[in-house]
Amino acid sequence: MSEPAATPRPLPALQGLTGEFYAWCAQGELRFQRCDACGAWRHVPREICAACGGAAWSWTRSSGRGRIFTWTVAARAMHPGFAADAPYAPVVVEMEEGVRLVSLMVDCPPDALAIDMPVEVVFVAASPEVTLPKFRRA
């Protein structure tokens, strides 16, 4: 019998501000929007500052360092593209800049995760077009 074809994993659509965020990742840089008026960092990308309402902002480089804010263990994949990975643990990382993002760890099984564990970003090519920011133990 032949193996069933693997279901591709969903990838972010490289459009608008999201496309700009991933374009920086493809260059090996984690950058978040930072408000030019009040200095507040923000993620996920959006047009207006939630702190002051300012419309001017800059893609500003992150230190790439953060801590595990929380995580969950997916015992059954929520998309067939991830079925071979289960169980896996999506993490919420709180960056030094204060923003949080959902990602995955590399080289860290779910039972090794801990609240406040220091992590640092690594860049993983998911396709020729999309590079994802993931994290490893720092």
Residue with smaller CB distance to Zn ion, 60 or 67: 60
How far is the C-alpha of 10 from the C-alpha of 92, rounded, in Å?
19
Residue with smaller CB distance to Zn ion, 49 or 99: 49
Site string for Zn ion, 25-54 (x = CB under 5 A): ----------x-xx-x--------x-xx-x
Reported as type and span, the H/E element at residue 124 is: strand 118-125
Instruction: Report if residue 112 touches Zn ion, rule: CB under 5 A.
Output: no
Instruction: Report if residue 114 touches Zn ion, rule: CB under 5 A.
Output: no
For the CB of residue 94, give the shortest distance to Zn ion in the complex, in Å.
Answer: 19
Cα–Cα distances (Å) from 59 to 4, 31, 67, 105, 118, in that order, read 42, 6, 21, 24, 24
For the CB of residue 20, give the shortest distance to Zn ion in the complex, in Å.
Answer: 18
Token pair 């779910």 in the structure block, residue: 110
